[in-house]
Every structure is written in structure tokens, then in C-alpha cells.
Amino acid sequence: MVRRMKEPSDSRATWFGDRRVDPGEKTMLVREVFSSVADKYDLMNDLMSAGIHRLWKASMIDWLAPRAGQRILDVGGGTGDIAFRILERAPEASVTICDLTPAMLEQGRDRAYDHNILQGCDWVAGNAEALPFPSMRFDAFTIAFCLRNVADWDRALSEAWRVLRPGGRFLCLEFSHVAVPALAKAYDLYSYKVLPWLGEQVAQDRGSYQYLVESIRRFPNQETLAGMMTKAGFQQVSYRNLSAGIAALHSGWRI
């Protein structure tokens, strides 16, 4: 369960759901959240989105268009969902999965064995704000439903730019801001009432899913995130709304 901590006093404070916390505390709390929900994470994704997350991820892979021989870094993808889709499309690519939470990586490795995926994946524990990789190592960088959980979004985007080779592609799939007002009201009601209840019933952890709902509302909107990517050095930045903006795909290139 999520622990409650005192409010921080310094200017570096960030958001953990609807609470202000120190960046280091957010990192620890996020690790606790995903350690708690790791064994139910993929099931909950299906239940919370009625399976629509699969279509969003398919759109991500379509836009990425992975190719044989590419080195791809998937950050925050501990259970392997994005990595496996990449390898299904481009079996001769290689994917490094980097995740903050060892329990999520354990789930991913187990799933890889279950699906007889014995090559093409490396599993690394690491923080998106200080990636344990040399500069200009990867051809593409994917991050799905993870960036909003990072304590310092600007630093994570700068790290993404750093580890990409010139000509490399950054692609982010994240919950975003609904573009249709009527749908936004219904989505808010569903998010705040149904999702924490599902977390309590299925994962026995209401608090973690309450945080996940709150974290979506605190995340920058589509235009703001595009601007942050440009500030980090990415060029040809663009985005696509999915399901009227419930989620969005952001793309940028290191030129």
C-alpha cells in the first residue's frame, strides 16, 4: 500500500498523485506502487481499459515501425508488453527493457519464458532520470504509461535524447487530456469511482490505483509535453490523440 509522508518544503518538490513530495520520495513511492501491483498489472490494464490499451499499443508499434537490426530501449516496460510486440513485428531487432521496479522485471522475464521468447530481450533495473547506458547507444526509445510516474519529467526527456543515436526516434504513449468535454466528464467519473474500486477488488490495493488516477490528471497536456520534448532537444515533434485524447502518442527525433 502507498505510504503517507509529510509535505516537502523545498522548491524541487514534485507531484505524487495529488500530493507534493520530494523527488527522491516520489521515486521510492512509485517503486512501492508497482511492486505492489506487479503480479496483477497486465490483468488490471485489460480490466481498466476494457482491452483498449492493446489497440493503443498496436498504434504505437505501427508508428514506430521497428526494423531488423535496430537497438531499441523500452523504459518502464517491465512486464515486456511493448518489447514483445516489437519483437513480433521485427524478430531480428533487440530490445533492452529498463524498469525502476525489480518485481515488474521479474514478471516480464517470466512472461518471456512462458512465450518462449529466449532471445532479443535484455532486462535492466534503472531509473529513467539516470539511465545506466552510454550516450548514443539506441536507435529508438519507447516509453508507455511510465513518464508520468517519473519524478523529473524534463530530466527523463533529456536522458532519452542522450541515449539515442543521431537519427534516433523517441516515442511516448501516455494517458493525456480528453479533447471532448462531454467525454471528459464521463471519463473523470469512471476514473475516480471505478478504477480505485477495481484496484481494491482485483489487486487488493485501492491506494495504488487511486494514485494512478491522480497521476494522470497531474500529467502535462499534449501541447505542453510536445514543448517539453522540444526543449529537451527533440525535433520534428508531433503527437496523435487516441480515443479522443484519453491517451496520446508523442514522437520526436534526435537529428
Q: What is the pLDDT of residue 203?
A: 81
Q: What is the pLDDT of residue 8?
A: 44
Note the pLDDT tens digit of each residue in 40-84.
888 888 888 889 999 999 999 999 999 999 999 999 999 999 999
Residue 7 lies in a domain: no
| CATH, residue 218 | 3.40.50.150
Residue 2 lies in a domain: no
Question: Helix, strand or coil for residue 245?
Answer: helix
Note the pLDDT tens digit of each residue in 166-176.
999 999 999 99
Percent of the chain whose predicted confidence (pLDDT) is above 90: 74
**Which residues 6+ apart lie within 8 Å of 225 measured at CB?**
172, 174, 176, 219, 239, 248, 250
- 205 pLDDT band (50/70/90 cuts)? confident
The structural domain count of the chain equals: 1
Give yes or no for residue 143 having a pLDDT over 50. Answer: yes
Angle, alpha carbons 225-230-234 (nearest 5°): 115
Q: Which helix (H) or strand (E) holds 27?
A: helix 23-37
CA distance 122 to 136: 18
Residue 5 lies in a domain: no
Q: Specify the pTM.
A: 0.91
Parent domain of 107: 14-254
CB atoms within 10 A of CB 94: 20
Residue 8 lies in a domain: no
Give yes or no for residue 1 having a pLDDT over 60. Answer: no
Residue 248 lies in a domain: yes
Whether residue 129 contacts residue 99, with contact meaning beta carbons closer than 8 Å, is answered with no
Whether residue 245 contacts residue 180, with contact meaning beta carbons closer than 8 Å, is answered with yes
Q: What is the pLDDT of residue 244?
A: 96
- Under DSSP, the state recorded for 93 is S
Q: What is the pLDDT of residue 189?
A: 87
Residue 106 lies in a domain: yes
Q: Strands across the sheet with 235-242, in order?
A: 121-125, 94-99, 71-75, 138-144, 164-175, 247-254, 235-242
When comparing pLDDT for 13 and 234, which is higher? 234
